[in-house]
Structure 1
């Protein structure tokens, strides 16, 4: 399976989950129930037990698109990082973040950050937002603020991050640009 097969699978997961969540929301909002507070939804029992949730909690869960977006961002970032580091022959743990491994990949292919939408500052933003969700804080930490400030973006530690569908799409465009111009797309020739 290629990186592009994986990328496509992530895209289909995102869009199909959005459809399923919307349909589930619409279904429960359309039903005329005598006592919505009394409704409990049960998942089929499995070897791990059973799951029951109130209707209100269930609707809140499918309304939470941010968690879905974060999951797709985290996986998209990991796919990009592992692919690029694999092409470079380095361990992601032995690099200094996207600023390092993506720059190396772009340069190895005769490219610069001008090839990637929003350039280096945009890539660092993706990394910082990804970290905020991957570490469960949903805020910019001190290290993230320092990284953003180093590329000219003024942000303070503790600032909340958002992840709308539009933001997720933008972040994935940036990551896809790193993959394409960093050597993972055979259709894109090196500018060397």
Structure 2
């Protein structure tokens, strides 16, 4: 089965390909020109569905299975921010580093050195006759310093529960076991097997 990903984020594409080895996984940008999708949902689930529906419609192929993920980090001391705005926290054209350092600065501005935090991943699966969503979570602590070069996004500032290293310092195998996205993808695979 071919899965079309409603993303061009290289980190996400790599992670999803790795976790769905028994499927042919292609980013939608390999099939059609990239286009802007306005993510105006109020939740990760709504935004994942918006992306999956938009790409499904644009592909104009009723046999395709589209998967979209919306994910982000929520920090307790910031009342759950950045949440659904994780990818554009430091502004529209910000990169991973800009977002990372804005989040570190915002936690420091609260007078904190760290805060409980969690990642959420919502995955939407859209086919011609079905729409399904699943979620995965990873809990831990957000730091006010970046440690490690691995991963992407906020990984260098997040220590998963039960560990003393950040996701930026942990090896990929360990990270795969803990990841909010891998937890959601395990559930997504069950949905895919029943399509």
Give TM-score, length-normalised by structure 1.
0.31
Greater fraction of residues in strand: 2
Give the alignment's TM-score, normalised by structure 2.
Answer: 0.30
Query: Considering only CA atoms, is the larger Rg found in Structure 1 or Structure 2?
Result: 1
> Which structure has the higher relative contact order (CA within 8 Å, separation 6+)?
1
**Bigger share in helix:** 1
